[in-house]
Structure 1
Amino acid sequence: MTGPETSGPYLEVENLTVRFPTADGLVQAVTDLSYSVELGKTLGIVGESGSGKSVSSMAVLGLHDRRSAQIDGSIKVGGTEVVGLSEDGLRKLRGNSVAMIFQDALAALHPFYKVGAQLAEAYRVHHPEVSRRDAKQRAIEMLDRVGIPQPDRRVDQYPHQFSGGMRQRAMIAMGLINDPSLLIADEPTTALDVTVQAQILDLLQDLQREFNSAIIIITHDLGVVAEMADDVLVMYGGRAVEYGACKEVLTHPEMPYTWGLLSSVPDVTSDTDARMIPIPGNPPSLLNPPSGCSFHPRCLHRHKVPGDLCSTTLPDLLPGGRGAGHVKRCHLADPDAIYAAEVLPEIAPSLVEER
């Protein structure tokens, strides 16, 4: 089975802004965010906690309470506008056209109901004509498809009887039970050991090939992004700060925040002189974000920009100096040269000549 044919991106997010009024002020969670994902492709969204990754993806499913969230911009899933869509329209969309694998499978699965019953319910919501018996059989088929052993027995067990990796597989089965064209995976390998992580990522890739689905994977792990993603979106302070083809962004990053993320990752192929360099300071407050470039209080390269441009003027998201479609939000005149000369030799000396 394959997803529907489309001549353009299946998901189109344009100028998305999400705000949360609170007693302390307005939380500016996501600001003017735009990206797109085609069927059969994977987008990796990376950034520190609080950068807006999960908030933006929850907006795609219409999961924010309209009474406590201010949402502007456009989100189109398969041509359907999500912003302003009725609750009935959102229920038809969720699980059917787009599904989400949540970060904490134990919290996402109801502890009082059997895993199979929860999967069957998710299926019958969109297929009310299907009997309970047939829905349970569909649940068994999906548990088997995601690699859970003895699915005909496991279907009648509770979430606490599953291991962490099995619960994550059950969440993937629930997400895919209605063959959605878009799957959003929010930290799908969190708290899993490395062997189970690899199995989960392989499973997602296999299912993508089978269903031709689009995938958004939200993660802190750049290794996961390098393994799975076709494109990568780097977020900081609720904004996109770099976007482009995965290989291009990871080998020729042009935003100092992306450099910081890469500098914090150990390189096992490098020599013993390679260092991990943490990003100084803390992520910005979304109640009172910094003026100008939101990264400038932590940026080690802001002195290379003339005057006080970094602290007073928000840089536009402009094309980088290399591949088409690679954009970055930075005032530096030649970031690729700075990265090659100053950053790369410190974090991966063995890659300098290769680059």
Structure 2
Amino acid sequence: MTETYLNEQPQGSTATKGEEPFLVVENLTVKFPTADGVVHAVTDMSYTLEQGSTLGIVGESGSGKSVSSMAIMGLHDYKRTQMSGSIRVGGREIIGLTNNQMRSVRGADVAMIFQDPLSALHPFYSIGAQIAEAYRAHNDVSKSQARTKAIEMLDRVGIPQARSRVDDFPHQFSGGMRQRAMIAMALSNDPKLLIADEPTTALDVTVQAQILDLLQELQHDFNSAIIIITHDLGVVAEMADDVLVMYGGRAVEHGSTKEILTHPEMPYTWGLLSSIPDVAGDTDGRLIPIPGNPPSLLSPPSGCPFHPRCPHRDKVPGDLCRTELPPLEVGARPPHLKRCHLPDPDAVYEAEVLPVMAPDLAAAIQQQDGPADEAFARDDR
């Protein structure tokens, strides 16, 4: 399963033949022993990412998105975490590195924009002091040089009057400005990989658009690889080259953004698409939610992790959905990967899923020659 995907060159890849991608995650498993049992947060997860490319990781809360990304940052406490598999950043294995060894990687090679900048930024230190500290951690410069760098980065991410605002504290910044400050800190050392964990959560739509435009502009300037973790498929359609769908701690679908959004082959992905409202439709119309609740990671269901909630499990011969975990294998359109026992997911999708989607979304999806983001364009952009 893993070898099938890792030997494929993803769309938009800049790696030459025989050269390893900048980020390689192989069979990553993360477990947390607790008093109630072992939490299977991430199980057997594999993917690759080139510099200059963007991977969108989507899924419900608790599906393992942030846990897998924190493993790349080396932020899990190894004393309280069971971790196996491999994570290679620029060819360097990082699983098993000590905290001191990870400090040379974290911030310089890999940086992260956290979901809530107000809690991620220290309330007792100014914005400029925190950016300067991150810069001095990887560069032998004076405090005045680091302060100049902080002003430069704040100006680069669009903070007005950066020279006077550099001494402000986090509570003096608005939500959008704090997010920009987090981006400035993350990019202060020109990292080759940037992980953005829900970077637009709790921001109004205008600021969301500005943040996404900023990330794309900075990626163009620095040629950084980006992992964007989000619930918003509109963000994925606009930002990502490839999409990884997670459910119950596992990857359940993986492929190019256009392929995933126009030809999904996993019922869970169908549920995510069907949950998108029709912004131009009947305001009294009902959404189509995914039935049931996400699985408990203390005792994951047997077989396919989605089978207790899947409305299509009766189309699979026998009791495979309940008893056998489907492999993450190549679907009808290689290198698109899916984890599902359905024998003909395309036929089911076109006959049963598309007809009940929001009409404007379904029509846009069926225009397969258009770019992916047209199907998910939002009128705030």
The TM-score, its normalising length taken from structure 1, stands at 0.96
The amino acid across from 1:187 in the alignment is E
Q: Which residue does the alignment assign to 1:201?
A: 212
The amino acid across from 1:325 in the alignment is P
Q: Which residue does the alignment assign to 2:92?
A: 80
Poorly superposed stretches of 4+, deviation over 2 Å = 4-8, 267-276, 348-355
1:119 to 112, 123, 131: 131
After TM superposition, list the pairs within 5 Å mapping 1:138-217 onto structure 2.
138-217=149-228
2:37 to 17, 21, 25: 25
Distance, in Å, in 2 between the alignment partners of 1:160 and 1:112 is 10
User: Deviations for 1:2-42, whole angstroms, at most 9, x for unmatched residues?
Assistant: xx987431100000000000000000000000011101000
Distance, in Å, in 1 between the alignment partners of 2:127 and 2:217 is 23
The amino acid across from 1:97 in the alignment is D
Paired residues of 2:24 and 2:49 also in contact (CA < 8 A):
yes
The amino acid across from 1:159 in the alignment is P
Q: Pick which of 4-13 and 143-152 moved more.
A: 4-13
What SS class does the counterpart of residue 32 from structure 2 fall into? Answer: strand
The alpha-carbon distance between structure 1 residues 321 and 27, as it changes in their structure 2 partners (threshold 3 A), is same
User: Deviations for 1:65-120, whole angstroms, at most 9, x for unmatched residues?
Assistant: 00100000000000110101122210000000000000000000000000000000
Cα distance, 1:148 vs. partner? 0.3
Q: Indicate yes or no: 2:308 matched with 1:288.
A: no
After TM superposition, list the pairs within 5 Å mapping 1:128-147 onto structure 2.
129-147=140-158
Cα distance, 1:306 vs. partner? 1.2
The amino acid across from 2:39 in the alignment is V
Q: Which residue does the alignment assign to 2:262?
A: 251
Q: Indicate yes or no: 2:10 matched with 1:16.
A: no
What SS class does the counterpart of residue 315 from structure 1 fall into? Answer: coil
The alpha-carbon distance between structure 1 residues 149 and 5, as it changes in their structure 2 partners (threshold 3 A), is farther
Distance, in Å, in 2 between the alignment partners of 1:190 and 1:268 is 20
User: Deviations for 1:220-276, whole angstroms, at most 9, x for unmatched residues?
Assistant: 000000000000000000000000000000110000000000011123366889863
Paired residues of 1:274 and 1:349 also in contact (CA < 8 A):
no
The amino acid across from 1:73 in the alignment is G
1:333 to 334, 343, 348: 343
What SS class does the counterpart of residue 268 from structure 2 fall into? Answer: helix
Paired residues of 2:15 and 2:50 also in contact (CA < 8 A):
no
The alpha-carbon distance between structure 1 residues 354 and 211, as it changes in their structure 2 partners (threshold 3 A), is closer
Q: Which residue does the alignment assign to 1:57?
A: 69
Distance, in Å, in 2 between the alignment partners of 1:272 and 1:154 is 43
Paired residues of 1:274 and 1:348 also in contact (CA < 8 A):
no
Distance, in Å, in 2 between the alignment partners of 1:54 and 1:333 is 32
Distance, in Å, in 2 between the alignment partners of 1:349 and 1:273 is 15
Distance, in Å, in 2 between the alignment partners of 1:207 and 1:299 is 40
Note the aligned Cα RMSD (angstroms).
1.6
Distance, in Å, in 2 between the alignment partners of 1:46 and 1:326 is 16
Paired residues of 1:274 and 1:347 also in contact (CA < 8 A):
no
Distance, in Å, in 2 between the alignment partners of 1:273 and 1:340 is 25
Q: Which residue does the alignment assign to 1:309?
A: 320
What SS class does the counterpart of residue 272 from structure 2 fall into? Answer: helix
Distance, in Å, in 2 between the alignment partners of 1:245 and 1:275 is 30
2:355 to 317, 342, 345: 345
Distance, in Å, in 2 between the alignment partners of 1:271 and 1:213 is 42
Q: Which residue does the alignment assign to 2:11?
A: none
Paired residues of 2:21 and 2:48 also in contact (CA < 8 A):
yes
Q: Which residue does the alignment assign to 2:5?
A: none
5+ residue gaps, structure 1, are none
Q: Pick which of 345-354 and 30-39 moved more.
A: 345-354
Q: Indicate yes or no: 2:272 matched with 1:261.
A: yes
Cα distance, 1:348 vs. partner? 3.7
Q: Which residue does the alignment assign to 1:277?
A: 288
The alpha-carbon distance between structure 1 residues 269 and 40, as it changes in their structure 2 partners (threshold 3 A), is farther
Q: Which residue does the alignment assign to 1:228?
A: 239
Paired residues of 1:271 and 1:349 also in contact (CA < 8 A):
no
Paired residues of 1:115 and 1:157 also in contact (CA < 8 A):
yes
Distance, in Å, in 2 between the alignment partners of 1:59 and 1:349 is 40
The alpha-carbon distance between structure 1 residues 340 and 270, as it changes in their structure 2 partners (threshold 3 A), is farther
Paired residues of 1:273 and 1:349 also in contact (CA < 8 A):
no
The amino acid across from 1:256 in the alignment is P
Q: Indicate yes or no: 2:229 matched with 1:218.
A: yes
Distance, in Å, in 2 between the alignment partners of 1:207 and 1:11 is 19
The amino acid across from 2:260 in the alignment is V
